[in-house]
Structure formats: structure tokens, C-alpha cells
Amino acid sequence: MTTNNKKEFQYKGPQLNGFLALFLWLSFIASSIMMIVNGANDNTPWLIVSGAVLIVVLFIGLFGLFTVEPNEAVVMVFFGNYKGTFTRHGFFWTNPFMSRKRLTLRARNLDAEPIKVNDKEGNPILIGMVMVWKLKDTYKAMFEIDAQSIVSNTTSVGATAAMRMNAFEKYVRIQSDAALREVAGHYAYDDNQSTDSDDGDLTLRSGGEEINDLLVEKLNERLAFAGIEVQEARLNYLTYAPEIAAVMLRRQQATAVIAAREKIVEGAVSMVKLALDRLSDENIELDDEKRAAMVSNLLVVLCADESAQPVINTGTLNH
């Protein structure tokens, strides 16, 4: 597979300040009109013809006037040959037969709709992202991808800057979808999905900036071919797919309950130990049976979900 190493370069062809060119053209047009008038008065046909031809030529020359706004570029093409990219902002004149394709170099946002993918464990999840991108190489953007055919009912002759940028945005959207699927497939949703995963494994939920940096890297790998640079990308939507969301929610709840129970038991054992130590410090001796009963009762009281209800042993009544 051959690769094209051509990149954009600045336009170095003939150019004039637009206001100077407009003043000269209007002066020449006025002179041509005077030639026609003088030719008609003096009955000199060649002056009339010369003035008319000059007016036509000057009128065609007016099509060479154009403006460039800040953070805007104009790709110059002369009969199919790339002649450079014009990036100086202002009012200018160039060869009127030069085809000028206008592009914006301003940063643009893309809020990708959440898509359904399978994570590393095979669980279906919904994941979305937001990114900031801009054109970096106008040559690649115009000639390495068929941006014109991406927009329906758009021809290369009549395409405006807005239509071209919409075409690039559609191309970026398709490639970002592929990059997002690739990144999501390398990581699990969270570290509770598999029992054999290490606590330090990177996940989509806990990855944070590492996941975002990897996403930017994958996006730039795919979009560099089109002369597009991704400046920032981050996940803005992450959840389980609806078909497993309820099951995973119950699983997370069970994990939270188990963790809470572990804390409760740990605290209860510490309190029982503290109670036994205090009894020993106060020289209160308990036999093994009473010690076991006390430990059992304390653990029941401390670990129960509801408050303990005391039971008073009043003995038996003898009549």
C-alpha cells in the first residue's frame, strides 16, 4: 500500500492587496468606458471594440477578489493542481481562474450519541463521549478523503465551507464511533465483574484520565490520515445496557451489603473484645459458659438490623 506524503504549504503565487486591486480595476473599467465613448464620438470602431474587450477582461478579473477571516484557510487549486493554502486573513486578489476551496480551522465540538458495545468481559454497555477537534492539514483534508461525497447532493464545484465542514464532521463521527468501540473493548466496566480480576486493573469507571488519554490517542491515529487533530476527548456517558442493568444493580447492591456487613462484624468483634477486657480489668470473673453466652448476646445485639428487645426472666411463681 502506497502512502502520500504530501502536506499543505503556503500559497506563494501572484497576489495583491484587495483594496489596491479593486481601485486599479475600477480605474481601468472607467478608462475602458471612456474609450468606448470616445470611439463612438470619433466614429473609431477599434476603440469601441478594444474598450468592450477590456471591460470583459476586467470584469473577469474581479472574480479574483476574496476575503479570509481569522482561523480560516483557502485551498488554492489551479486546473486540478494544488498551489498551496492561503491562511493570511484580510482582503486579497489572486488569479481569477484559481479555484478557491474555503475551510475553517476553528475548533469544533462533537457530542457522540451513546452506543452499545461489549466490554472486556462481554457485558453490553452504553458508552458515549464528547470531543474537541480541528483541521490541522488542509491538503489531507481536501484530497486524502472523499469529503464531498459524504454530504448528499453536494458537488465539488458548489460545495460551501459549511457543507465541507459538515462532511468532515460526519467523517469524524464515524471514526470516533470505531475508536470508542476499540477502547471500550479493552477494559471491563468495573472491577466487580469478574472474581479473578486484580484490584489494580484499569476499568472504564475508574480509568479517568488514563482512559481519556487513550481515547485521544486512538482518535488521532484514525483521523491523522484526514489531516484532523483531536485536542480533547472524554467519556461523558457510561452505564450498563438496559437488558442487564437491573441484574448488575442487584449485584452492586449485594456487594455493598457484604462490604457493610464486614464492617459491622469487624466493629462488633472489637467491641466484644473491649467488653471482655474491661471485665477482666474490673476483676469480674466469668466461667466459660457465661462468657460464651455474653459474647453470643453481644454479637446478636451489635450485628442485628433491628434494635434488640430485652427479655426479663422473672423466674417461676410458687403457690
Q: Whole-angstrom Cα distance, residue 156 to residue 41?
A: 48
Closest CA to 12 of 102, 86, 89, 93: 86
The closest of 34, 164, 145 to 100, measured between CA atoms, is 164
Instruction: Domain of residue 257: give its range.
Output: 249-303
First to last CA, the chain: 109
Residues 149-171 pLDDT 10s: 555 444 443 457 778 888 888 88
User: Residue 235: beta bridge partners?
Assistant: 129
Are residues 263 and 230 located together in one domain of the fold? no
Mean pLDDT of the chain: 80
Q: What is the 3-state secondary structure (H, E, C) of 221-285?
A: HHHHHHCEEEEEEEEEEEEECHHHHHHHHHHHHHHHHHHHHHHHHHHHHHHHHHHHHHHHHCCCC
* Those residues with Cβ within 8 angstroms of residue 265's Cβ, 6 or more apart along the chain or in another chain: 303
On whether residue 187 sits in a domain, the answer given is yes
Q: Mean pLDDT over residues 201-212, rounded?
A: 83
pLDDT of residue 192: 60
Q: For residues 129-136, give the mean pLDDT.
A: 93
Claim to verify: residue 153 and residue 199 sit in the same structural domain? yes
Q: Kindly state whether residue 35 falls inside one of the protein's structural domains.
A: yes
Of the listed ranges 71-85, 158-172, 213-227, the least confidently predicted one is 158-172
**Size of the chain, expressed as the number of residues it contains:** 319
Instruction: Please check whether residue 2 lies inside any domain of the structure.
Output: no
Q: How many domains does the chain have?
A: 3
- Residue 132 and residue 219 in one domain: yes
Helix-strand-coil split of the chain, %, nearest 5: 50, 20, 30
Judgement on whether residues 137 and 225 belong to the same structural domain of the protein: yes
- Give the pLDDT band (50/70/90) at residue 65: very high
Q: What are phi and psi of 68, to 5 degrees?
A: -130, 125
Q: What's the CATH code of the domain at 227?
A: 3.30.479.30
- Asked whether the predicted pLDDT for residue 123 surpasses 70, the reply is yes
Question: Does residue 4 sit within a domain?
Answer: no
3-state secondary structure of 101: strand
> Does 281 lie in the same domain as 234?
no
Pair (89, 201) in one structural domain: no
Of the three residues 61, 83, 103, the one that is the final residue of a domain is 103
Same domain for 129 and 98, yes or no, is: no
Residue 150 vs residues 132, 146, 147: alpha-carbon distances, Å: 21, 7, 5
Separation CA 185–CA 218 (nearest Å): 13
Tell whether 288 is covered by a domain.
yes
Cβ neighbours of 50 (radius 10 Å): 15
139: exposed, middle or buried (Cβ count in 10 Å: 0-12, 13-18, 19+): middle
Say yes or no: 19 and 49 in one domain: yes
| Domain identity same for 282 and 222 | no
In a domain, residue 319? The reply is: no
Q: Residue 59 falls within a domain, yes or no? A: yes
Task: Establish if 313 belongs to a structural domain.
Answer: no
Strands (E), the chain: 15-17, 65-68, 72-78, 81-86, 90-94, 99-104, 108-118, 124-135, 228-240
Q: Is the pTM of this model over 0.85?
A: no
Same domain flag for 60 and 118 = no
Q: Please indicate, yes or no, whether residues 118 and 204 belong to a single structural domain of this protein.
A: yes
Q: Same domain for 126 and 224?
A: yes
